[in-house]
């Protein structure tokens, strides 16, 4: 009996240790979405939202009250201790940074992330969950008139969509020409095969802010099939593939 109790207690102890380690790792991970509220030099309320997935990230600033787009930048990232290194793939306000590596120190304490040297503190919005579509996706094809047209995702021109547990953002850009073509984002839900985007900013058309777009979604062979109507009301069936 003593052996059985000891064995049971040992399993419980191991389970608790693993749970605590898992919590600690998640608490110190940037994976998910973060938000910083601040003001411009003329006193306009601003919001900066950063989304981190495995290997890729994006940070965007827009007016908190109107959704007017200000700027966005992002690309690949890695974290070594407290040092984060980013390889810039797009930067709407400073395209010359594209292709460069930048490193800075971050401090993550639970639901707060601070960047050393930056006065703005970020609060965690989510940790990547529930996020059925969490990850960094590249547009890899379309279905038109029943025919699938594939797209090479290894080229310099990309349309990427990054999703955390609750936030989404798409970005169109070219790493070769350093051109930024457009972006939009906000929060999203996935319920019973329906994917809904609630737009908070849209660089091409501020009038789209506040709109909700509903689509059918499914995952087939690891690819995300996205079907419905575009923001202009045209039918679409897009195929997205996770970035490696």
pLDDT tens over the chain, length 244 residues: 333 344 443 343 334 334 333 333 344 899 999 999 999 999 999 999 999 999 999 999 999 999 999 999 999 999 999 999 999 999 999 999 999 999 999 999 999 999 998 888 999 999 999 989 999 999 999 999 889 999 999 999 999 999 999 999 999 999 999 999 999 999 999 999 999 999 999 999 999 999 999 999 999 999 999 999 887 788 999 999 999 8
Alpha-carbon distance values, 134 to 41, 51, 140 (Å): 34, 10, 17
- CA separation for the pair 189, 180 (Å, rounded): 27
Can you give the pLDDT at residue 117?
87
Record the tokens describing residue 61, joined without a space: 């600033």
Q: Which of 21, 70, 81 is nearest to 183 (CA)?
A: 70
3-state secondary structure of 29: coil
Alpha-carbon distance values, 47 to 67, 72, 125 (Å): 9, 12, 13
Can you give the pLDDT at residue 27?
46
- CA separation for the pair 221, 232 (Å, rounded): 29
- CA separation for the pair 125, 113 (Å, rounded): 11
Record the tokens describing residue 43, joined without a space: 């006193």
Side-chain-facing half-sphere of 13: CA atoms under 13 Å: 6
Residues 6+ apart with CB under 8 A from 117: 104, 105
Can you give the pLDDT at residue 118?
84
Can you give the pLDDT at residue 92?
98
131, 166 contact by CB (below 8 A):
yes
The radius of gyration of the chain from alpha carbons, rounded to an integer in Å, stands at 20
Record the tokens describing residue 136, joined without a space: 């960094």
50, 86 contact by CB (below 8 A):
no
Indicate the pTM of the whole model: 0.87
170, 158 contact by CB (below 8 A):
no
């Amino acid at each position: 009996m003593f052996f059985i109790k000891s064995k049971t207690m040992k399993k419980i102890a191991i389970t608790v240790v693993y749970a605590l380690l898992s919590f600690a790792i998640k608490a110190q991970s940037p994976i998910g979405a973060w938000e910083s509220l601040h003001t411009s030099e003329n006193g306009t309320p601003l919001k900066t939202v950063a989304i981190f997935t495995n290997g890729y990230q994006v940070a965007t600033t827009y007016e908190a009250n109107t959704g007017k787009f200000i700027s966005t930048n992002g690309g690949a990232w890695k974290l070594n201790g407290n040092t984060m290194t980013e390889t810039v793939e797009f930067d709407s306000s400073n395209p010359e940074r594209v292709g460069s590596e930048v490193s800075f120190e971050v401090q993550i304490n639970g639901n707060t992330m601070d960047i050393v040297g930056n006065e703005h503190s970020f609060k965690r919005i989510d940790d990547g969950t529930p996020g059925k579509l969490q990850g960094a996706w590249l547009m890899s094809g379309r279905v038109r008139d029943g025919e699938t047209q594939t797209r090479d995702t290894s080229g310099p021109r990309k349309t990427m969509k990054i999703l955390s547990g609750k936030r989404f953002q798409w970005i169109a850009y070219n790493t070769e020409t350093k051109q930024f073509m457009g972006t939009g984002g906000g929060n999203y839900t996935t319920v019973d095969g329906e994917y809904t985007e609630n737009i908070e900013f849209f660089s091409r058309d501020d009038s789209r802010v506040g709109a909700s777009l509903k689509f059918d979604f499914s995952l087939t062979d690891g690819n995300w099939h996205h079907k419905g109507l575009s923001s202009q009301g045209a039918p679409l069936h897009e195929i997205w593939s996770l970035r490696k």
